[in-house]
Structure 1
């Protein structure tokens, strides 16, 4: 990790630890406010030091409140001869409660300002983090999550021990031998209803806090709500997990639920295109391994099943994968765009009826320049005359800009995000393309849905930034090198 990465990581961990501490203090002040509103003189109050609060004024008021409550409890066990003392003590109790309410109100206001400021600092550091290389960001995020989990766990253990010690120190040395006689037979101790309320409060508040912390630590996309909170680009479909090694399940098992999910996406796309014209569609993602090549291949096959003439084009010239599915990648877009092949030479008929395929071809040294050239425009105009649908499998827009170069010719831009793999931050990039108008008719598909949970996840990266060789007659050695963290999901695999 670079020096800058270490510095950013240390600042981010520092701010997040401060935020957790502020959240715990905020929870305590909310508890104290609820306690004061209850006006129960018999309930035990938790010391603020247990939550790391060292405000001397608050500590003094809480101690005074606890002392007066003990005095009132002792007087309450006696007969009515000390009624005047009892009234005096309750008056002092009300005064301290009022001072505590003012202190809590001021402290909550100060805490809210501090939490807003710390959120702002975290956002600034995350902007700096986004400028680092992708691999370094991934490493920082993993170490950050580990350190935060470890810090929270250690912090909670310490607070639990402090709470037990504080609770033990609050046990009175006095023991009542015989209670004073009362005119009423109503039970006054213990207060069962109050105890039940306290049990519910602490039984729900702490787990809820832990859930909030865990949710903040997890930045992966899980469901529709995660997408809707970060972007206005519509979610038009869900693709299930592929349990088969076959990368064309819509052809192998056309009646499966996975095939039905592709039909649903196909239907949704119809609302974006004019059926009287050739529809040009890009299938892309923001990072690698989100399943764009898998989706583009199966979407093309399921569309061809309607009797439409479909052309699937491998335009990922940096890391081509469609050639592995259709067993062909000798000549294709790279050779056509570089004037080494003609249009008729690169169009290939597949075993799927009505589906034609153009592989990416050999990896060129200048893919962006080739895509931006006049040959790309010539290819699209000619293909529109022969096909009903043209589907481009393009590189991730979060890694390279190749997809943006053909945006003026495209009718629908389909973004693939992968459940429990894609970061929620990637949705910010998708929303940026929408708001800036760089892409039109954008839609999102949530891929690799696992209904019965998962065993873990990891990442693979390679090929987009470094390590590919040049030439048109061979694949570059080292381009497909993989490094990072192994994926430990369910059976089956996805190509991207």
Structure 2
């Protein structure tokens, strides 16, 4: 429909007032932005100038220009001077005065702008009253048209200001900046010295890290000091590790020069240490056990028995490990077919289960025989007591080989018959946590005369660097 002339006039006036209101709101936003910028003490070189926002206020523009200039001078002086420099102090005072002046000017301008906004709002309110007097249809059409044009003008105004702000921001900073002029120093890469140093560093550092991780993560017993850390038990001896097979070396070396080996000397030392455990009985009994299988208790028991047999002592080696017997294979002595299991079942007497060593006359061995289903019950019976009483009356030295004390209870049942109880610990095999747990067990704590034997010490460690003997002229010497 065709709008009346009066409605067109009211619409025109309303549009003009809306445009003025939009401009005043934009100015008011800029004044608030500038006031916040000054109160936060930010760098005034990056502030948007009033002219870019359509504000033609020469006083405010001049103050902001002066403030930007002082900020630039202060930044230049700070490059070569400290904050106590008199020029910087003077500039700071001038900046503070300018900020105060700008804030006072902003306060006045904001007040004036608010008054103008109030006046425009009142005039718009009066125009709205005049619009309400128009016919209903024209009134609705006029409101729709006014809203459309107002939104269109506001959108166009905001797009214009956005473009102006982007241009102003882009003009304040250059697209490129030269940080440092290019110079020539010759060849940069590859750096031969750096490469050589890196190779040497990696060649030394990486192996050291691997070795450290291997040693640090190893929880096995490596030294006698590892046992002493969590136990006060005496270390009765240390058995070295030799690459050659030393299982029968003591027997073959009874009357030969080769008997002066490191392995033979270590068992002689253990034999001497056992002599300090004196008792009033004619026979002495030594029990060997360990925490886990594979720690060499049977090996130590065989060689210690052979060492005592070389002293012309009637020695008996008893294999009470009826769960996993291995003495027959390690000693090289053929069994006569009878063992402890045959004695317990009544199929053989004590004399029938004793085997003699063909090379050492004083060494006798009792093997385990067939594996019974109930070794612990057999050992706990009265037959064991009668057997030990008979054997202790007949032999000077009795060596008992038992199962691991950390797995089964067989060794605990036999400790009452022994004068000395020896727990074998093997180098780099016995886990420290397992050994520590077993040594702190109440059953192990109550074992009388308990000692520790460290087996498998490397040949190059500690005192095992030399061997001793006699030459043809019976002169004592040390051979490396």
List aligned pairs for 1:266-285, cutoff 5 A: 266-274=271-279, 276-285=281-290
Taking a change above 3 Å as real, the CA distance of residues 411 and 174 of structure 1, as seen in their structure-2 partners, is farther
Partner of 1:247: 247
1:374 aligns to 2:374 (yes or no): no
Aligned-partner Cα distance in 1 for 2:297–2:79: 75
CA distance, structure 1, for counterparts of residue 429 and residue 352 of structure 2: 38
Instruction: Write the mapping of 1:153-192 to structure 2, written as runs, cut at 5 A.
Output: none
Q: Secondary structure at the match of 1:425?
A: helix
Out of 393, 396, 406, the residue aligned to residue 388 of structure 1 is 396
> What 5-or-longer segments of structure 2 have no aligned partner?
1-76, 86-178, 184-203, 254-258, 462-480
Shift of 1:227: 1.1
Instruction: Name the residue aligned to 2:434.
Output: 426
Q: Does 1:439 align with 2:447?
A: yes
Aligned to 1:350: 357
Say whether residues 1:416 and 2:421 are aligned partners: no
Residues 331 and 341 of structure 1: CA distance in aligned 2, closer, same or farther (over 3 Å): same
Number of corresponding residues: 267
Mapping of residues 105-144 of structure 1, within 5 Å: none
Q: Does 1:405 align with 2:410?
A: no
Q: 1:82 aligns to what SS in structure 2?
A: coil
- Equivalent residue, structure 1, for 2:474: none
Q: Give 3-state SS (helix, strand or coil) of 1:227's partner.
A: helix
Query: In the superposition, relative to structure 1, how do residues 402 and 357 fare at CA in structure 2: closer, same or farther (>3 Å)?
Result: same
Shift, 1:272, TM fit: 1.8
Equivalents in 1 of 2:444, 2:425: separation in Å? 20
1 CA distance for matches of 2:435 and 2:221? Answer: 9
SS, match of residue 245 in structure 2? coil
Equivalent residue runs for 1:4-403 within 5 Å: 82=82, 84=84, 214-245=214-245, 247-253=247-253, 254-274=259-279, 276-324=281-329, 325=331, 326-328=333-335, 330-351=337-358, 352-403=360-411
- Contact persistence 2:242–2:459 (CA under 8 A): no
Q: Is the 8 A contact 1:337 1:373 kept in 2?
A: no
Q: Is the 8 A contact 2:288 2:421 kept in 1?
A: yes
The answer to whether the 8 Å contact 2:246/2:263 transfers is no
> 1: CA distance between counterparts of 2:364 and 2:444?
34
**Structure 1: where are the runs of 5+ without partners?**
1-74, 86-172, 178-203, 454-496
- Pick closer, same or farther for the CA change 1:411–1:213 going to 2, 3 Å: same
What is the Cα deviation at residue 212 of structure 1?
A: 6.8
Structure 1 or 2, whichever has the larger Rg, is 2
Paired residues of 1:233 and 1:431 also in contact (CA < 8 A): no
* C-alpha contact (below 8 Å) 1:415/1:442 kept by paired residues: yes
The 3 A distance-change label for structure 1 pair 206 and 270 is same
The CA distance in 2 between the partners of 1:287 and 1:329, in whole Å, is: 29
